[in-house]
Chain A
Amino acid sequence: MSDTPAPSGDSQDPEELQFHYTSSDAPRPEQETENAHAKDTTRIPDVIEALRKEFGASVLEVERYANEDTVYVEKERIREICRFLKNELDFEYFADLGGIDNFKDEDRYEVFYNIVSMERQKRIRLKVRVDEEDMRVPSVTKIYRAANWNEREAYDMFGFEFVDHPDPRRMYMPEDFDYHPLRKEFPQLGVPGSLPLPPQTPDGELTMDPFAAARGSEPVKSYEEPPVEQDDD
């Protein structure tokens, strides 16, 4: 096997011809960032302009990092804004939704929406701020049905209450679970004993996970041990 590429002289198929081209039709617009990974799709001044015109002060602020525009909007109007984006601005593909816990006193949580317009070749990120006191967020499942599972996941992980969600169940954790694991106060190791495990035998009892069982039955008292050294010899 030679290391040099064999010239494909014998192949007549035009598909096999070796040529290289740049697939994008239009020349790339000037990027304002040095970031080598920045994309043109996330830069959306005209969409933001349209949103500002339609919703005025409900568009709170716009942030940019690595050529990505993030639009903060009012929580109460997220549904109207999504409907406007879908119907008027062709943002028809719902890519992602999730929560962020900023762990601060005011507006502790954020929910972000990642929506794509294939026609415009653009991607928009909306964000709403959610206060700890009022975890209600209007559900956008009526507009983007793909948001269904994502909202369930955000509820499961952070405890948002998505108003008018058709199926408000947890996504990953069982319904018997009482916590919201992605909140910052939730310990990484989990809460011992928060979920029982199946019995060891068909007729047996539900069991605890060993960590919890160890804590529950024999409290760890490191200061008491070892009082006497047992010597078998």
Chain B
Amino acid sequence: MAEKPQFPGHDLGDQFRFWPKHNEAIYERLESKHTWVEEQQRAAGGDGELPLTEAEDDPLENEMILNMGPQHPATHGVLRCVLKIDGETVEKAVLDIGYLHRGIEKLAEHKTYQEFMPYTDRMDYLSPYSNNVAWCLAVEKLADIEVPDRAQWIRMIMSELARISSHCLWLGTGAMDAGAMSVFLWTFQEREEIYAIMDEVAGARFTVSHSRIGGVASDLSPRSIEMIRDFVASFPEKVDGWEYLLNRNRIWMERLKDVGRITKEEAIDRGLTGPSLRGSGVPYDIRRFEPYLKYDEVDFTIPVREEGDSLARYYLRLEEMRQSIRIIEQCLDRMTEGPIRADDAKEAYPSKEEVYYSMEGMIHDFMYTDVGTVPPKGAHSYHAIESPKGELGFYLTSDGTGRPWRVRINAPSFSNLQGLEYLLEGDLVSDAVINISSMDPVMGESDK
């Protein structure tokens, strides 16, 4: 064995400290940070006099620093919250993310556009189909690829199912965070049905990778259309049932009401997105703001609540599930027959029949795997979709080869977690978990 490597953790003799500079910086930040209230007072007062927050006279030793995470069941992933608490109140909060950082922006630079698709499944792993669609649309915009109508309808149906599936998980775990077990089992039953649909459509239950650049991988089978219709017919009743149960449950209502309240101005200022932003009264939804696929041709409403607390976000997500069902119904009715992928060897994969039974098809398949789509040199474009968590956008830069020069992922969970840091401050420790779950962060996405 070679001699012991010099690590920064070894300066304290045998006392073990892992990543010492990192933790030091977090605690330093916790001390130096001005809370939201302090910032507001300073802005209003203008004299720069900060209120006394240091533990100078704290004879009862009320203040302590609580490390929540990164391994905590209620944090929905490897989220680490370092909370400075005074008795029961969270005085300051510092979030530490990056425990699931895989550097997929870097990885994307070494892959062809199509090869990167499975990585998007693992970003927001609660609704993989939305990410697939977001990636495909971004690449299609960059390379100017037109997608056949039927593929667009299929994508819409599936991404709305993904939205329902994500919200089901949010509701189940959210209720479990508040102490209710049964809702979790019911919502996961519905998620199971969506898994079955995904399985039938894409061949995989969870990480589907079904969308393709220039279309989708396979058409919906009659059996899967039947399954989707069954699901659409039965699901609204289930939502009504959950709502009937939860809305009359005093524990649920009182734990959510007035917890994590954020005003409209603050929500915009903090850059919240998705249901968290709309729960504060901002009608910002990419499906309306920049309609993609066929969203400008179907009839649905964007639920908006004015209260801005966790309860508002709960109502809003339930309503969004109902609207998704409406969208799926219309898609099923209006879906046209036709091709499911662009008919151009430089824009999309050829069908399997072509690959197996024609020489050109096989060459095209090989070339598409090897080189793939080649956007023009210097092209750069941004395309966003409304994922279940909010605005999910890809900003791509091309250097005229089959691999992206730079992929920038605008992840909604990242924006929402930034807002969460301010949401936690001033609330009770017991409400911290409610706040986290009502923001619905997914670490795979925020950590990239």
Contact = CB atoms under 8 A, between A and B. Distances in A.
A101 B405 CA distance: 9
Contacts of A112: 395, 408
Nearest to A114: B382
Nearest to B282: A118
A208 interface: yes
A172 B97 contact: yes
Nearest to A34: B144
A208 B144 contact: no
B297 A20 contact: yes
A24 B296 contact: yes
Contacts, number: 173
A144 B268 CA distance: 9
B242 interface: no
B298 A167 contact: no
B333 A198 contact: no
A82 B19 CA distance: 37
A66 B381 contact: yes
B293 to A, nearest CB: 10
Interface string A157-193: 1000000000101111111100001100010100001
A83 B326 CA distance: 41
Would you call the interface of chain B mostly helix, strand, loop, or mixed? mixed
Given A171-B98, A206-B9, 4 more contacts: A36-B147, A144-B269, A167-B29, A182-B103
Interface of B: 1-2, 4-5, 7-10, 16, 18-22, 24-26, 29, 33, 97-98, 101, 103, 105-107, 109-110, 137, 140-142, 144-147, 222, 225-226, 229-230, 268-271, 273, 282-284, 288-292, 296-299, 329-330, 332-334, 379-384, 391, 393, 395, 397, 405-406, 408, 410, 414-415, 417-418, 447-448
Contacts of A217: 1-2
Given A96-B410, A101-B406, A188-B106, A3 B222 contact: yes
Would you call the interface of chain A mostly helix, strand, loop, or mixed? loop
A198 B141 contact: no
Interface string A136-174: 000000001111110000000100000000010111111
Interface string A85-97: 0000000111110
A203 B16 CA distance: 8
A216 interface: yes
A42 B382 CA distance: 9
A210 interface: no
Interface in A20-58: 20-24, 34-39, 41-42
A37 B137 contact: yes
Contact of A95 (B101, B142, B391): B391
B418 A37 contact: no
Given A5-B333, A100-B406, A112-B395, A93 B21 contact: no
Given A172-B448, A175-B19, A175-B24, A216 B2 contact: yes
B268 A36 contact: no
Contacts of A175: 19, 21-22, 24-25
Nearest to B273: A95
Ranked 10 nearest A-B pairs via Cβ? A146-B271, A172-B98, A37-B141, A174-B22, A175-B21, A172-B101, A96-B410, A175-B22, A174-B19, A39-B290
B148 to A, nearest CB: 11
A167 B26 CA distance: 10
Given A95-B391, A96-B408, A182-B106, A167 B33 contact: yes
B397 A100 contact: yes
B269 A146 contact: yes
A223 interface: no
Contact of A199 (B16, B22, B290, B408): B16
A176 B20 contact: yes
A96 B226 CA distance: 40
Interface in A187-233: 188, 193, 196, 198-199, 203, 205-206, 208, 216-217
Contact of B289 (A5, A41, A146, A148): A41
A68 to B, nearest CB: 6
Nearest to A217: B2
Contacts of B282: 118
Nearest to A96: B410
A206 B26 CA distance: 21
Nearest to A92: B268
Contact of B5 (A116, A148, A176, A216): A216
B418 A148 contact: yes
A96 B142 contact: no
B21 A114 contact: no
13 contacts: A3-B222, A22-B297, A37-B292, A65-B379, A68-B381, A92-B269, A96-B382, A114-B382, A125-B382, A147-B271, A167-B29, A217-B1, A217-B2
